Amino acid sequence: MRWFRFALLILAVTVLQKGLLARWSSKPDLLVILLVFFAIYYSTSDAIISSFTIGFAADLVGSPMPMGPQMISFGLFGTLLAYLHRVIAIKRMPYQALAIFLTSILIHLLTHLLAYLTKGEPVAANIYIVVFVTSLYSSIVGPFLFLPSAWWMRIKINRFGRR
């Protein structure tokens, strides 16, 4: 993996997520999309390292939650997805969208559970609706962002999603 390109991509997406997309009430979670991208197209060890790194970036720019729940959530589900990808190929766009949707739901629910358990953060009344809408938007936008991400990371993907 090209780690310098990875760092620049995570930095740009983190700034975009917190800055430009922060104005919208419902928005896709670009960091979850990148997590699924790296879990699908890179080796298991690279995917695990990138999962924890993306979780750390999500903790840095996240809402006023305590530090750590997003890193744990991203790392855990990114690792599980990387190992799952060794068994099941997730190369077509509908499967990628489903992977983004399920991973996003699981990450956000575990993040809110961990934040509640560690600091007693209050859980919003509409948290399930927000998690569902964010996951839905992420799964719609996500597979279309895989090609520019692959171009930036300099990996070859053909039109069928295979490396």
Q: So where are the chain's domains?
A: 3-153
- For the question of whether the overall pTM of this predicted structure is more than 0.75, the answer is yes
Listed residue (4, 48, 9) closest to 148, CA to CA: 9
What is the full per-residue pLDDT of the chain (163 aa) written as tens digits? 789 999 999 999 999 888 877 777 778 999 999 999 999 999 999 999 999 999 999 998 876 667 888 999 999 999 999 999 889 888 889 999 999 999 999 999 999 888 888 877 677 778 889 899 999 999 999 999 998 999 888 887 665 555 5
Q: Burial-class residue 157 by CB neighbours within 10 Å (0-12, 13-18, 19+).
A: middle
Domain 3-153 has CATH 2.30.30: no
Residue-level pLDDT at 82: 94
52 within 8 A of 39, measured Cβ to Cβ: no
